[in-house]
Structure 1
Amino acid sequence: MDVVFWVLLVVVGGAASVGWRLWSFPGGWDRAFGGAYAAERRKLAAARRAVRRLGWAAGREVAGARLAVHRRTAAHRQRVRTAQRHLDRLSDPGNGSVLVRFGEAALHEHVVTFERTSIPLAGLQVRDEHSGGTSHLYLTRPDGRVHHRTYPHGDHAEEDVRRFAVRVQNAAADENDFRKRQTVMIAAAEAELDAVRADTTDRDRARAELAEITERLRLDTRLKAAQAELAAARDHWHRSTGSRPR
């Protein structure tokens, strides 16, 4: 079975090679394989190679320059998006990351939530009391509104409630500090975003390099000369055989 496979492979490969040779050098068997026409085949093949070599080199150079433009443009856009996200987070920080969970409560960087109730930490005052086997947590907003939560000691130890109250109070202090600095940080983030948007140096340099390469290749006569020699070789072959090669 293996022998048959390899024989078939050799036959198919040989047929393909003969077919390619007849297609490359049209005009009959003698023109494609005869020794009398070897010089003409070499001249046509050399002209083809010259065009391919110069064309591929130019194509690779242009493709590389275009890829550089694409990458540097994408990198600039990414820097802008990163700066914009930073500004957005400062302008509207949302709840922030979860710092600790306590029963139904979740203390975030900027709010404390109880099931469906969300209480901003800015300006929040925290007080805890413990009596009769129950702990009480009082959260007072800057407008005076009070949120009261009870924790039976059978569910939550008094020390755990105290510890959670301290965490909330400290988080509120951190939030107050953040709010004091927020305006300044937003102004800095806006300035940074403007600077990032304006800094197109890498992208512009890549575009200039692409334009320079494109113009240099446009003025380069080597490819045009090679194409002219290939056209002349094809014309000569056509006149000699009546078949025009590609």
Structure 2
Amino acid sequence: MKPMGLVLLAVLAAGILALRLRRRYPGGWHYALSPRYAAQRRDLDTARSELNKIHRTVERELAAARSGVEDAERARADRISRARTHLNWLREPGRGRQRSSVGGVLRLYEHVLVVEADGADLDYPLHEVSVIDEYSGKTGHVYISLPGGRRQMVSVPIDEETPETELRRFVVAVFNAVAEEKVARVERQELVPQAEAELSEALADTAGREQAAERLAAVKARQKSDKRIPRARRELDAAFDRWEQLTGHRPQ
């Protein structure tokens, strides 16, 4: 920074300090700076500091109690969310992770078989389908038996990119995944009543929030009857009176 800039900064800082001193110790520079009135300035500073210290203590205590209420509400909301998410997953687990794919038109997930048809994905729950395959020349045909007795055929070109063995492995993987999913679905359904109970319990459990609210109310009540702040304010007013008697100006 150039010397002129440093000078300007120094002047600005001095001006701010002078303004602060005039506001803190009104009545003239000699009252604000002279060693003669150091004891009177300390009297003002001590009274101000004591009131500010008590205010900070009270505010921290109140903030901690309010934070306790927020934490309790957040913990309850998180518990409800986890319980609801678990119950929803038991009822409807979604696709799950992808296990395999073939020909760009068939994708096997943990819980569904996805068939791409006319640019759209069709999701078939594994526990509701069965598959068989057959081959004619350079084309493999996968027949998917759907709920209600319907059937869908998906043709996959057999070439270097998708050899016949890969399609056969995919069909076997689907067959096995269907068997696994049927067992897993029964197990999930058996867990639904317990998950419903856990969600109901989470919704009904307001003890943590109520206890935190009671602590907050107790803090507010205690602070309302706390004599420290009124006493510190009276002491500060008395210090202001003494300064005003000395200088003819009352501090703010």
TM-score of Structure 1 vs Structure 2, range by shorter chain? 0.7 to 0.9
Q: Residue type matched to 1:213 in 2? A: V
What's the % identity of the aligned pairs?
37
Partner of 2:92: 92
Q: How does 1:77-88 map to 2 (within 5 A)?
A: 77-88=77-88
Measure the CA separation in 1 of the matches of 2:214 and 2:249. 45
Deviation at 1:87, TM superposition (A): 1.7
Q: How does 1:1-246 map to 2 (within 5 A)?
A: 3-103=3-103, 104-116=105-117, 117-154=122-159, 156-246=162-252
Distance change in 2, residues 1:16/1:131 (3 Å): closer
Measure the CA separation in 2 of the matches of 1:132 and 1:234. 104
Q: Residue type matched to 2:247 in 1? A: T
Measure the CA separation in 2 of the matches of 1:181 and 1:79. 23
Q: Residue type matched to 1:231 in 2? A: D
Measure the CA separation in 1 of the matches of 2:148 and 2:33. 99
- SS class of match (2:127): coil
Q: Residue type matched to 1:169 in 2? A: F
Q: Residue type matched to 1:167 in 2? A: A
Distance change in 2, residues 1:35/1:112 (3 Å): closer
Give me the TM-score of the superposition, normalised by structure 2: 0.84
Measure the CA separation in 2 of the matches of 1:62 and 1:224. 18
Structure 1 residues without counterparts, runs of 5 or longer: none
Structure 2 residues without counterparts, runs of 5 or longer: none
Distance change in 2, residues 1:131/1:38 (3 Å): closer
Q: Residue type matched to 1:115 in 2? A: E
Give me the TM-score of the superposition, normalised by structure 1: 0.86
Measure the CA separation in 2 of the matches of 1:237 and 1:13. 26
Deviation at 1:97, TM superposition (A): 3.1
Give per-residue Cα distances to partners, 1:125-166, cap 9 Å, x unaligned.
222234545433222234332222333433632221221111
